[in-house]
Structure 1
Amino acid sequence: MQTKITKQQAWEHLKKYNKEEFHQLHGLTVAAVMRWYADKLGYGAEADFWEIVGLLHDIDFEKYPEEHCKKAPELLAEIGAEDELIHAVCSHGYGICVDIKPEHQMEKVLFASDELTGLIGAAALMRPSKSVQDMPLKSLKKKFKDKKFAAGCSRDIINQGAEMLRWPIEELLDKTLDAMKAEEEKIHMEINK
C-alpha cells in the first residue's frame, strides 16, 4: 500500500484539527511506532503508509470526540486520502465506536499499539528520567497489570489487539516498548520543530 499524501501534509492536517500538544504528540508517537513495526515485520516498502495512518489515526478525536472514527472519512477526504488509508484509520475504533474490522496486519498493529503507546507514555512520565529509555519490560508489565494506573488506557483493547495479532501480550508490550525506545528522540525533535 502506498499513499500520495506526504508526511508533511498529514502533519499539517493533524494540526488543523488537533490543537493540543498532547494529541499532536500522540499522533507523532503512533506514527513512529507504526513505521518501526512496518520495518520490523517485513513491510518496509509500506513504511510511509503505516506512518501516515499512525499520524492521522485520531484526526477527528479532539474536535469531534463523540464522532470518533465516524467524522474521520470526511476530514481525510479533504486531503485526498485513499480508501485504504481511510479504512485503516477508522478500523482502530473497531468494537468501540465503529464496526470497521481491522483486516490488514497494519490495521491490527494500529489497533493493538494505539492504547499501549498511551500507557507506555504515562509510565515514562512517572520515571525520574521522564523517558522510556531506562524502562525495563518488567516495570511496564507491572503498570499494565495495575488497572488504576492510566485507567483511561483500556487493557481490554490492548489484549484484544494482541489476540488479533496472535501474539502473547508480553510480546506486544516488549515490541511496542522497543519501538518507543528506538523512536523517542525523533518524536521529541518533531514535536519541538
Structure 2
Amino acid sequence: MEREEALELLQEYNESDSLLKHAYSVEAVMRHFAKLKGEDEDYWGVIGLLHDLDYEKYPEEHCAKTREILTGKNADEEFIRAIESHGYGICTEVRPEKYMEKVLYTIDELTGLITATVLMRPDKNISELGLKSVMKKFKTPKFAAGVNREVILKGCEMIAMDLDEVIEETINGMKNAAVTLGFQ
C-alpha cells in the first residue's frame, strides 16, 4: 500500500488530532529504524502509520477490526500480521516475530511517552530533548500513566537493544516529523 492510500484510509477512520499525530510519530520512528537496518522505509512507515487504524472507532475490537479493514483493501498477510503484533498481550495473541514487528511493538508506547515529555517542555521543541529528560519521565510512573513501560522494556529485550539506545533512536525518528507533530 502506498502512503497516500494509507493516509486516506487513516483519515477515514480517525479524526482525533492526537491519534493522527501518534500515527505520524510511529510512522517516522518506523522509517528511522528501517533506515538504520537497511530495510524498506516506505513499507515500515506505512505499517507504522496504520498501526492504530481501528482504534478511534473500534477501541474494543482494536487490531481485529484493522485485520477486517485491511483484508477488504487486499493488504497482504505479512502487512496485516505486522500491525496486529503491536497489540501482543494487550488485545491480540499475535506475537511479534520479525524484527520489524518487534520494533513496532517496542516503540508504539514509547512515542507516547516522548510526546508527553515534549508537551511538558515550555518550548514544545523536540530538537533539544535528551535521553536524560525522557528517562526521568520513564522512571516516574504517574507521568503519562497510560504508557505501558513493561511493554517498552519487553520490546527492548526482543530487539536486543538497551532502553537508552531505543529512546535515543526513537527521539531521532520523531525529530524527522517535528514539523508535522508541531514539535519545533
Count, aligned residues: 182
Alignment RMSD (CA, Å): 1.2
Amino acid at match of 1:147: P
Please state if 1:156 is matched with 2:150: yes
Q: Of 14, 18, 21, which residue of structure 1 is paired with 2:14?
A: 18
Runs of 4+ deviating beyond 2 Å: none
Please state if 1:56 is matched with 2:77: no
Please state if 1:67 is matched with 2:61: yes
Question: In 1, distance between residues paired with 2:88 and 2:53?
Answer: 16
Deviation string, structure 1 residues 71-129 (Cα, Å, up to 9, x no partner): 11111123221111100000000111111011111111100000000100010000011
SS across alignment from 1:71 = helix
Q: Of 167, 177, 183, which residue of structure 1 is paired with 2:171?
A: 177
SS across alignment from 2:20 = helix
Please state if 1:33 is matched with 2:29: yes
Aligned positions of 1:78-117 closer than 5 A:
78-117=72-111
What TM-score do you get using the length of structure 1 for normalisation?
0.91
Q: CA deviation at 1:183?
A: 2.9
What TM-score do you get using the length of structure 2 for normalisation?
0.95
Q: Which 10-residue stretch deviates more, 174-183 or 88-97?
A: 174-183
CA contact (8 A) 2:24 2:49 kept: yes
Q: CA deviation at 1:182?
A: 3.1
SS across alignment from 2:64 = coil
Question: In 1, distance between residues paired with 2:52 and 2:60?
Answer: 12
Please state if 1:118 is matched with 2:112: yes
Deviation string, structure 1 residues 8-27 (Cα, Å, up to 9, x no partner): 10000011111111111111
Amino acid at match of 1:60: D
Amino acid at match of 2:167: L
Structure 2: tracts of 5 or more residues without a match: none
Question: In 2, distance between residues paired with 1:120 and 1:70?
Answer: 27
CA contact (8 A) 2:25 2:181 kept: no
SS across alignment from 1:163 = helix
